[in-house]
Amino acid sequence: MAGPRMTVVGALQLGTGVPVERILAFEDDIRGADLVVLPEAVLGGYPGRTPFVEYFAASVPVPGPEVSALAGLAARTGASLVAGVIERDGSTLYSTAVFLDPALGLVAKHRKLVPTARERLAWGRGDGSTLPAVPTAAGLAGAAICWENHMPLFRAAMYAKGVEIWCAPTADDRDVWQASMRHIADEGRCFVVSACLYETAGEDPFRGGSVIVGPLGDVLAGPLRDAEGLITAEIDLADIVAARQSLDVSGHYARPDVFSLTVDERPRDGVTFLR
């Protein structure tokens, strides 16, 4: 078994559509962590709460000044950040997870593949070109946004990439979400860091429920309810090695002679110009 490799991961629970300065105010809390996950739509806001023109104006370009501010936070604290933002690209919005490296800044992004329910009225669909597995000081990180975590083939693809830190920005504050996070950790034999929105205002509040889970489904921190804040856990990647001795769904527990999955990671632009 690999020797101990202790790192600290965290989930920062905040409201939806907060100004970037609200995130920056947690700088002292974040310092000392190796990786911190922020909720879905923490920048830009959750849809259906304001007229679309106002909502569109609150979205952020990627890259852009707000993302640069988060990159600065990563640089000052030494923590990789995975944050859910509402990305504006032309006239289309996406629910996107951005990956910020302390030394390199914005290194990757993942666009949500399937918006859920009312989200479909506001957000476009990502394609297979943004399914990154990103090296961080805490381990190899990937992101599944909210109900993407319920897509079995999405999970299979990310497990095959060898993800060690499963980042789950979400707006799902239901109790059953906790069961989903524990299942993914146990199924993928990875650490799961889920950051949920928390907000009490309006007719559609979010209760929170940010949680950190170990590779056998054991809860290491949280769930944090009814408050803003940062939860953290010290983890050892050697626990993944030990856990995968009995279950490696992309390795010795796979049956490629029976089941196969093809993942198309080509960008799918609406228009292609041939010259």
Catalytic residues: 40, 112, 146
CA 177 → CA 180, 186, 268, distances in Å? 5, 14, 31
CA 219 → CA 179, 224, 265, distances in Å? 10, 12, 33
d(CA 42, CA 21): 12
d(CA 140, CA 166): 9
Residue linked to tokens 């329910």? 117
d(CA 58, CA 74): 23
Helices and strands in the chain: count of H runs, count of E runs: 7, 13
Whether the CB-CB separation of 137 and 34 falls below 8 Å is answered with yes
Q: Which two tokens stand for residue 189?
A: 């034999």
* Helix or strand run (H / E) with residue 11: strand 6-13
d(CA 74, CA 81): 6
